[in-house]
Chain A
Amino acid sequence: MTSQTQEHAPATPAAHRAVLRVDGLSVEYAGEVRACVDVSFTLRRGEILGVAGESGSGKSTLITALTRLQRPPAVTTAGRILYHGRDGGPPVDLVTLDDKALRDLRWTSLSIVLQSAMDALNPVLRLGAQFADALRAHDRRMSKKEAWQRAAELLAMVGISADRVRGYPHQLSGGMRQRAAIALALACRPDLVVMDEPTTAVDVVMQRQILSQVLRLRDELGFAVVFVTHDLSLLLEVADRIAIMYAGRIVEIGTARALYTGPKHPYTQGLRDSFPPLHAPLRPLSGIPGSPPDLRRPPPGCAFHPRCPERFDGCDRILPELVPAAGHEVACLLYPAGGDR
C-alpha cells in the first residue's frame, strides 16, 4: 500500500492524486426535492474536505450518494463519481457500478460514519461482534479470536475501554456510540471515509482526541475524508478545504483558512457571523434573516437572493456558477467569471 501524507507534495503521479472526482452530481427525492444539484469537486488522496451549510441543504444526501448508500426515494439523476483506487488502475464510476462490485469496495475502500450512530450499529449485536463481522467479511483468514482482539484495539483507539466490547450499543452513551461508529468505519483501512457530523455528540476533549487520531491515521494510511459538520471553527482546525452548501449546491469552496478569514459568499459571511463567542463580550446575535428555501420550488437565480443583504439586479434571474475568486471558488454574481474581484 502506498501512503501519501503530505497533500502539498504528493509522491504519486498526477493521475492518482485524486481519489474522487465528482462531476455534475444531482440527487433528487422522488423527482420532487432536488437535494443535490450539479455538484462538482475533486478530492485529493489524503485530503480532508469539510462540508458545512444550512440544515436541509443536502449535505447528508451528498455524502450518502458519494458512497452509494442512499435509499429510495433518493435517486442520482445526473453526474459521475469517479473513484481512483489505490492500485492505480482506471477509475470506476460509482454511480453506475453494480451491487456486487460496490459491496467489494464497501468498508475496504469506502466507508461511512452516519449522522445517527444508532443507524450504523446493530442494536441486537454485541459491539465486538459487529467489528468482528466487518473485519472477517474482508479478511476470511482472520480468526474469531483475532477479530475480537482487533475490535478491542480499535475501540481503545477511540477511548472505549475493553470492558465495553461485550456490551450492546444501547448501553453506551451517545458519544461512545459515535466513537464506536468511527472506529468501525476505519476498521478495514478504507481509502475514503465520509463522516456525517461524527463528533457532534461528543465532548470537546474527546472530539480533539478522536480528531487527532483521525489526523494521525490519515497521515499513516493516507485515506481521504469528507467531513460534514456545522462547526466551522472545528473545520478551520482540521480540514484542508471547506465546501459550503446552500439549497443543494456548493456555493463556495476553498482552503479552510481562506474561507474562514475571507469568506466571499454572503451566505458564508452570514454563517461566520452567527457564532456566539467563547470569550469575547456577548451581544445579541440574530443569524441570517429569512428562512431556507423549499427545495421543491427553489427560488430562480441565486437561491440565496431572497435573504441576501447584497442582492442586486439580476440575482433573482441569473444562476451564478462557481468561479475562481481570490484563491478560492464562489458562486455569487458579485464575483463575475473572469473578473477576480
Chain B
Amino acid sequence: MSEPVLEARDVAKHFPVGRRGVVRAVEDATLALLPGRIVALVGESGSGKTTLARVLARFYPPTSGEVLLHGRAGTGRRGYHSDVQLIFQDPFGSLNPLHRVRYNLERALRLHHRTRDRRELERQVLDLLERVSLSPAGDFVDKFPHELSGGQRQRVVIARALAVRPKVLLGDEPISMLDVSIRLDMLNLLARLRDEDGLALLYITHDIASARYLCDDIVVMYAGRMIEGGPKEDVIARPRHPYTKLLIESSPDPGRGEDDRAALFDGADELGEPPSLVNPPAGCRFHPRCPFAMPECEQSPPPRTDLGGGHWAHCWLHQKGRAGDLASTTHAAAPALRAAGPADAPGAADDCGDGKEEGP
C-alpha cells in the first residue's frame, strides 16, 4: 500500500473556556490519508470533526501529537496549503464578500500556480465553474457571494479548493447544501479526482448514504474520540460500536416502514444527551447513553479491538465476549435490555464474536 500523504498521530486539541475549564474537542486521534483513497469522517455533532480537519489543515496547532505531510512535520505555510486544502463547513463565511466569484478563484490560481496570463486565468476560472456544475459559467463569474444561493456558494468554495490542485482535500460537509442531483455530480467529481489524479480526501458528512456512495473507509467519532473505523461496507452493514449502530439506525431511510419510523421518533427522547466535553464521562464516553453498558464501561476507556479486515472499534463488549448483543438488538428495543441488566451474552461466540479474547 502507498505511503500516507497526510497523517495525524495521537492528536489532541483542547480549547480553554472560562477561567479554568478546557474543552477536550479531540483526543487520541490517529488517521492516515492515502493518495487515491477517500476516508469519510462521520459522527456526532460537536464530536470534533471540524476541529480535527482544522488541525490537519494547520489552522490550529494540536495541543499534543503531530501532523505529518509526506511524513514530515515542518513545511512552510504557503507550501502546505498548496498541498492541503480545507473546504470550510460554512460557505457563508468562507468567501471574501467584497469580491466577485472571479476574484475569489483567480486569487487561488495566482497564489498557488503563479498563473498570470489574463486569458489563461479567465479560461481556468470558467473551467473550474463548469466542473462544479455552475454553468453556464459566464452567468456566475461576475456575481458577488451574497448574490448566490447556499448551494451555489458551496460550489464556488469547492471550485476554489480545486483551483489549487491539492494533493489532499479536507472537505468539511462540502456538499450539505446542494440538492441531491447536484450532490451526485459533486460526489462523482470527487470520485474522479480520486481515481484519476490520486487525490486523498477526507469527507466529513452527516449523510451516511453519501459517505457510503463515495468513500473507501469510514471513521466514526463520538465526543472527541474515534470510536470505530474500517471498510465502509463492514462499518455500515455490521457496526461494532453501539453509537455507530445508533447513527445508522437513525439515518433517514425511505425503505423503512411506517411503524419502524414511528418507533424511531417515539424513542428519540430516550436517547440521552450528548456529553459535556469540559467534564467528559469517565471510561467510555458513550456509557451514560449506552444500552449495553457494563461496570467496566464507567471505569476505564475501552481499548481498541481489531476485528479483522481493517475494521476496529473501541468498546468493552468486544473484550467481554458480548459482541453478539450488538447484532441481535436494535437501539429502539435496547432500553428494555438495559433495564433488565446484562443478560447472558446470547450468541457472543458465533457470527460476531471476533473480538480478540474470544478465541474458539
Interface residues in chain A, defined as those with a beta carbon under 8 Å from any beta carbon in chain B:
29, 52-57, 60, 115-116, 118-119, 159, 161, 163, 166-167, 171-176, 179, 197, 200-209, 211-212, 215, 230-234, 236-237, 260, 270-271, 274-280, 282, 284-288, 291-292, 294, 296
A278 CB contact (under 8 Å) in B177, B181, B212, B276 = B212
B residues near A215, Cβ cutoff 8 Å = 265
Asked if B269 is an interface residue, CB under 8 A from chain A, the answer is yes
Given contacts A119-B92, A200-B177, A205-B271, whether A278 and B209 have CB atoms under 8 Å apart is: yes
* A106 nearest CB across to chain B (Å): 22
* A297 nearest CB across to chain B (Å): 9
Residue contact A175 to B250, C-beta cutoff 8 Å: no
Asked if B347 is an interface residue, CB under 8 A from chain A, the answer is no
B residues near A284, Cβ cutoff 8 Å = 188
Residue contact B150 to A175, C-beta cutoff 8 Å: no
* B301 nearest CB across to chain A (Å): 21
B residues near A294, Cβ cutoff 8 Å = 136, 139
B residues near A52, Cβ cutoff 8 Å = 179
A54 CB contact (under 8 Å) in B90, B179, B184, B264 = B179
Residue contact B179 to A271, C-beta cutoff 8 Å: yes
Given contacts A55-B149, A118-B92, whether A260 and B254 have CB atoms under 8 Å apart is: yes
B residues near A296, Cβ cutoff 8 Å = 139
Contact with A along B226-238 (1 / 0, CB 8 A): 0000000000110
The winner among A179, A260, A279 for most chain B CB atoms within 10 A is: A279
Closest to B15 in A: A171
Q: Which of B29-37, B44-52, B321-329, B352-360 contacts A (4 or more CB under 8 A)?
A: B44-52
Residue contact A230 to B179, C-beta cutoff 8 Å: yes
Can you offer 23 A-B residue contacts whose CB atoms are under 8 A?
A55-B177, A56-B152, A60-B149, A118-B90, A163-B276, A166-B18, A173-B45, A174-B90, A197-B177, A203-B44, A206-B44, A209-B271, A230-B178, A234-B252, A236-B252, A271-B179, A274-B184, A275-B209, A276-B213, A278-B208, A284-B188, A286-B188, A292-B182
Q: In the docked arrangement, what's the CA distance between A215 and B264, Å?
A: 13
The A-contacting residues of B in range 177-202, CB under 8 angstroms, are 177-185, 187-188
Contact with A along B245-259 (1 / 0, CB 8 A): 011101111110000
* B43 nearest CB across to chain A (Å): 7
Residue contact B177 to A280, C-beta cutoff 8 Å: no
Q: In the docked arrangement, what's the CA distance between A200 and B92, Å?
A: 14
Given contacts A118-B90, A174-B89, A278-B208, whether A208 and B250 have CB atoms under 8 Å apart is: yes
Asked if B337 is an interface residue, CB under 8 A from chain A, the answer is no
Residue contact B152 to A175, C-beta cutoff 8 Å: no
Contact with A along B121-153 (1 / 0, CB 8 A): 000000000000101100100000001111110
B residues near A29, Cβ cutoff 8 Å = 147
Asked if B304 is an interface residue, CB under 8 A from chain A, the answer is no
Closest to A212 in B: B268
Q: Could you tell me the dominant secondary structure of chain A's interface residues?
A: loop
* A129 nearest CB across to chain B (Å): 16
Given contacts A204-B206, A288-B181, whether A279 and B139 have CB atoms under 8 Å apart is: no
Q: In the docked arrangement, what's the CA distance between A280 and B147, Å?
A: 39
A residues near B319, Cβ cutoff 8 Å = none
Residue contact A56 to B265, C-beta cutoff 8 Å: no
Residue contact B17 to A115, C-beta cutoff 8 Å: no
Nearest 6 CB-CB pairings of A with B: A175-B45, A55-B151, A276-B213, A287-B184, A173-B46, A212-B268
B89 CB contact (under 8 Å) in A56, A115, A201 = A201
Q: In the docked arrangement, what's the CA distance between A32 and B187, Å?
A: 32
Q: In the docked arrangement, what's the CA distance between A236 and B262, Å?
A: 12
Asked if B120 is an interface residue, CB under 8 A from chain A, the answer is no
Asked if B93 is an interface residue, CB under 8 A from chain A, the answer is yes
B residues near A116, Cβ cutoff 8 Å = 90, 92-93, 150
Residue contact B44 to A205, C-beta cutoff 8 Å: yes
Q: In the docked arrangement, what's the CA distance between A190 and B288, Å?
A: 34
Q: In the docked arrangement, what's the CA distance between A29 and B143, Å?
A: 13
Given contacts A55-B182, A201-B89, whether A279 and B253 have CB atoms under 8 Å apart is: yes
Asked if B210 is an interface residue, CB under 8 A from chain A, the answer is yes
B residues near A55, Cβ cutoff 8 Å = 149-152, 177-179, 182
B residues near A57, Cβ cutoff 8 Å = 179
Residue contact A287 to B182, C-beta cutoff 8 Å: yes
Q: In the docked arrangement, what's the CA distance between A197 and B266, Å?
A: 23
A203 CB contact (under 8 Å) in B183, B206, B268 = B206
Closest to B279 in A: A163
Residue contact A171 to B212, C-beta cutoff 8 Å: no
